[in-house]
Each structure stands twice: as structure tokens, then as C-alpha cells.
Chains A and B, each alone.
Chain A
Amino acid sequence: MTQLASARLRETIFAVMADRGLPPVGEHEALFSTGRLDSLAATEVLTMLETDYGIDLADEDFDILQIDTLHDLEMMLSMRVRVAA
């Protein structure tokens, strides 16, 4: 089975959702822009992107809209892993 680039991040997101009593979310369902997760949860995800995945949040090329669904997150991280390789 292919290891997802976002595996650790997914665990965090699922844990945050479980903490808040939220049901599981589909790959293409918006996490943040629909209000499912709030700005503090977004802060947690952004901090993890920075500390665990080395993403420079100050970089203007980083578009926050790329983290609104699990699918978008996966695409963004996979692309960055490929570029880094």
C-alpha cells in the first residue's frame, strides 16, 4: 500500500474532528471554508505543515486554499515531496 504523504497530518485532523464530536469527512469535502473546522484547528494544521513538513508559510506561493480538503492536502504535499526529490 502506498504511504500517503499526509498520513500524520490526516491523523491530526481526524483527532481534532473526533475531539469535537464531528463525523468522518470525505476526501473532497471542505474542512475549513465550510466552518467544519475552525481557525484554531487551521492553526494546528498550518503549524504542523511548517514544523513537520518544512513548508514555508511566509512563501507567497503557498496558497491556503490548498489545504481545504484532504484531497487538496494530499496533492499539495505529494507535489512538494516530488519537487524536493
Chain B
Amino acid sequence: MKLRPIHSGETDAAVTLLAEGFADRSPEAWRAGLERLLAYASHIGEPSVGQIVSARGADAGICLTIPSTRTAYTGTPQKVVNLGAFYLRPGHEWMAALLMRRLAADAAIDYTDLTASPSMREINRNVGFEDRSHGALVIPLPAAAFRPGRSARILRVHDIPTGRISDGHRRLLDEHATLGCVALGVELDGICHPLICARLRRRGLPGAQIVLARDRQFIRAALGPIARHLLARGLTFLMLPGDDRQGFPEAVVWAQSAPVQTTRQPEGDALDFTFSEAVFFQPG
């Protein structure tokens, strides 16, 4: 088994494997997402965005490795690598554990897997990942939109007055808005917080998933205005990790959803999946 890094010269080989392994997305959609990812990696000076696996001289699989530095709600910046789109061709699945060991070899990095299949979840647990959540909450926005506004106010990223949000948060909002996310400032009790959601589709319905939020309490407190804002943009549900419906009575628990798996203990209660697979591979 050999690994070769994915850079712009490997786009065709990577798209072939991605479209074969995840046929619910077209080759064109994979190519567009991969190009976004390569442009981002080039911008931050990272040489590759994943590895192609070969065995006995033929391509046998792929895994994307998306590097970033977590800064939004941490005391110390934390290097993160989000592993995504893990696929091994039939007959090569048994190499999964070794591949994960090689991909997640640096103890200083927080490796994350947000979309592992049931069999990969078990392998991840065996190679050092821990589950940080179980299932997902799916909040129907038409129901949540009836919540009162309380003191929350939604600001589009360009409408956030200078000085109301830190430079780091503003940069994250700008970068994710450019990548197609819904990036907002949410004023709650006089403080402006960043909120980033990625678009996704479930059973044909357009929705959003949390990419960055201060914590669940913040989402709960501002859910009414957030729901109305997202609903007005054609999004019908909001998804966040975890199966605890406390404070979200309108939510449905989706137990089969992949857990958040990471190699390092999270610092604090923030939900931070910035620059992850969900961001680069949103539906068109």
C-alpha cells in the first residue's frame, strides 16, 4: 500500500475515486468541490488535500485531509485535520485501519471525522478517535420560526459594524461566506457572535448544518430569529450534532447520523467545524 498526496495534478484520479465511492454526488460536483479545496490549501500554503491509496500498482482508494487551524473559541490555536470522503475500492477495505493510522499520525494535531460510516466509526475508535457526540438533532425551521425573538438580532456579514466582532471571527465569516456558507453575526444580549451554517440536502430537502456556533445554549437562545432568517432563504431544517433534545422540543433525533469523532478532547463547548468537508462540498 502506497500513498500519494492529492495536489492539482491528481485532480482527475481523485475525482474518479470520489465519484465511484460516493455516487450520490456527480463527478462535476466532486471536481468543483475539490477545486475549491485545492485553492484554499494553496492559499494557506498546504501542499496537499488528501492521499490516494495504491496497491499492487493500481489506485485502490482515497481520503481527503483538510487542514486548518481552530482559532474561534480556543485559548491556543489548535491545528486540525478533517478526514473526509474515505473510500477503499472493493477488496481493499481491510487496509482501512492502516490507512487511518498513517493519516492520523501526528499527536499534536486534532484529527476529526464527521461523516464516518458505521464500519469506519469502529475502526476509528480502534486507532485513537473518540466519539464526542451521538446522533444529530434535526430542527424543522417552520416550527422553530414561531419562537419569540428575545433579544437576538441577525446581521449579515457585511452589515456587522466595525468593532462589533473580533477580526478573527470576521475573517472566518468572510471566508466561509465566500465558500457558499450562510455566515451571520447574531447579536444576543448586546454581544455579537459569529454563526456559520453549511448548506446540505436530506431526502431532497434543502437545509443547513452548524459549522460554527458559540455553544448549544447560544443556538437555543437565538433559534427563533435564526430559523426565520434561514427559512426566508429557502432552508427548511437546521442540523447540529448530539441527541439531547433539551431546549429543542421541536427537534427530531436522527440516531443514525455519524458521531463527531476526534483524536483530542474538545476545548470548551463551541461547535467548530470550520473548513471541514461540509464547507467545501455543499450542494450546488
Residues on A facing B (Cβ under 8 Å): 32-35, 37-44, 46-47, 57-58, 62-65
Contacts and interface: CB of A to CB of B under 8 A. Distances in A.
A42 B1 CA distance: 14
Interface in B100-141: 101-102, 105, 119, 122-123, 126-127
Nearest to A34: B91
A39 B1 contact: no
A74 B97 CA distance: 21
30 contacts: A32-B94, A33-B91, A33-B92, A33-B94, A34-B91, A38-B93, A39-B93, A39-B94, A39-B97, A40-B122, A40-B123, A41-B94, A42-B95, A42-B97, A42-B98, A43-B96, A43-B122, A43-B123, A43-B127, A46-B98, A46-B101, A47-B126, A57-B98, A58-B101, A58-B102, A58-B105, A62-B98, A64-B55, A64-B94, A65-B55
Nearest to A46: B97
Nearest to B88: A39
B203 interface: no
B202 interface: no
A75 to B, nearest CB: 17
Nearest to B99: A64
| Pairs A-B, 9 closest by C-beta atoms | A32-B94, A43-B97, A42-B94, A39-B96, A43-B126, A39-B93, A58-B105, A57-B101, A64-B1
A74 to B, nearest CB: 19
Nearest to B102: A58
Nearest to A37: B94
Interface residues of B, number: 19
Contacts of A58: 101-102, 105
B91 A64 contact: no
Nearest to A57: B101
Contact of A65 (B1, B97, B102, B105): B1
Contacts of A40: 119, 122-123, 126
Q: Summarize B's interface: helix, strand, loop or mixed.
A: helix
Contacts of B43: none
Contacts of B94: 32-33, 37-39, 41-42, 64
Contacts of A33: 91-92, 94
A62 B95 CA distance: 12
B10 to A, nearest CB: 19
A18 B284 CA distance: 49
A75 B35 CA distance: 44
A30 to B, nearest CB: 10
Contacts of B1: 63-65
Contacts of B122: 40, 43
Identify which of B55, B98, B101, B127 gathers the most chain A CB atoms within 10 Å of its CB: B98
A31 to B, nearest CB: 8
A58 B128 CA distance: 14
Given A39-B93, A64-B95, 6 more contacts: A33-B92, A35-B91, A42-B96, A46-B98, A57-B102, A62-B98
A20 B274 CA distance: 42
B101 A39 contact: no
Given A46-B97, A47-B126, A64-B95, A39 B102 contact: no
A25 to B, nearest CB: 14
Interface in B59-105: 91-98, 101-102, 105
A17 B50 CA distance: 34
